[in-house]
Amino acid sequence: MKKIILILALFFTLDSLYSQNEPTADMTTNNQPAIERTYPISLGIESGINYTGFFALSAEGNIAKNLCINGDFGLGGWGFKLGISARYYKSYPKGLYYSLGFFHSTGIDSIEISLATTNSPNNAEEIALRFEPVNNLNLGLGYQWQLGNRFRLHIELGYSIILKPEPWEVLTPNKTLTQTSKQVMNFSAPGGLMFGLGFSVGLY
């Protein structure tokens, strides 16, 4: 809970700083606002920690003035990852934005990992585990740069809230993880501090 409060405080601090330093519109030589073409549909690639996966394909659609819906399909340490999120930009398609997303990791049916068990607390041994499907709620604050009219680069920070505690099952008979091994698995499961990076191209 303290981490979530800290992230939210960071969001509001950065938002306040951005609002105080928000640039004015560019002007042409005739003192008319420069017109930048926007592309309300874009495709991209993303990567990060507790984000959309080690590698993900993304699609963004601008459904209102500054509101976008994103879809993601990626591969992470807990299997395939699918997500949908909403982004609210201060000034679409660039600048500061808020993000709220729901992500589903498919899990892994069987994987062997070296961990300490109650049978052998001082020595790790190979045991089989099942990574169960898990859902996460992602809260993010990002910034997007527009490179020309079509290309965009963004960075996002936040927190990923796991909605299922201890989402794994020990498959090896008569084996129980030690408390330290459970902490290792908790750290490995999707969730926690989030960092993401992405690049996209406007198509339409």
Does residue 28 form part of some domain?
no
Query: Distance (Å, rounded) from C-alpha 116 to C-alpha 177?
Result: 6
Say if residues 98 and 88 touch (Cβ distance below 8 Å): yes
The residue count for the chain: 204
- For residue 157, the domain's CATH number is 2.40.160.20
| Token pair 């938002």 in the structure block, residue | 15
Residue 103 lies inside a defined structural domain of this protein = yes
pLDDT number for residue 111: 96
Spatial distance between the Cα atoms of 159 and 137, rounded to a whole number of angstroms: 8
Inside any domain, residue 118: yes
Neighbour tally for 146: CB within 10 Å: 18
What domain range is 106 assigned to?
2-11+39-202
Cα–Cα distance between 162 and 156 in angstroms, integer?
Answer: 18
Say what the pLDDT of residue 3 is: 53
Residue 134 located in a structural domain: yes
> Which tokens sit at 150?
């079509």
Residue 25 lies in a domain: no
CB 85 within 8 A of CB 51: no
In this prediction, residue 9 carries a pLDDT of 53
Give the pLDDT score at 78: 97
* Total number of domains constituting the chain: 1
Residue 27 belongs to some domain of the structure: no
64 in a structural domain: yes
pLDDT at 118: 92
Identify any residues that bridge with 83 across adjacent strands, giving them in sequence order. 72, 103
Tell whether 89 is covered by a domain: yes
Q: Print pLDDT tens along the chain (204 aa).
A: 555 545 545 554 545 544 454 544 444 445 554 455 679 999 999 999 999 999 999 999 999 999 999 999 999 999 999 999 999 999 999 999 999 999 999 999 999 999 999 988 888 999 999 999 999 999 999 999 999 889 999 999 999 999 999 999 999 999 999 999 999 999 999 999 999 999 999 997
DSSP element (H, E) containing 83: strand 79-91
Give me the pLDDT at residue 24, please: 44
DSSP 117: E
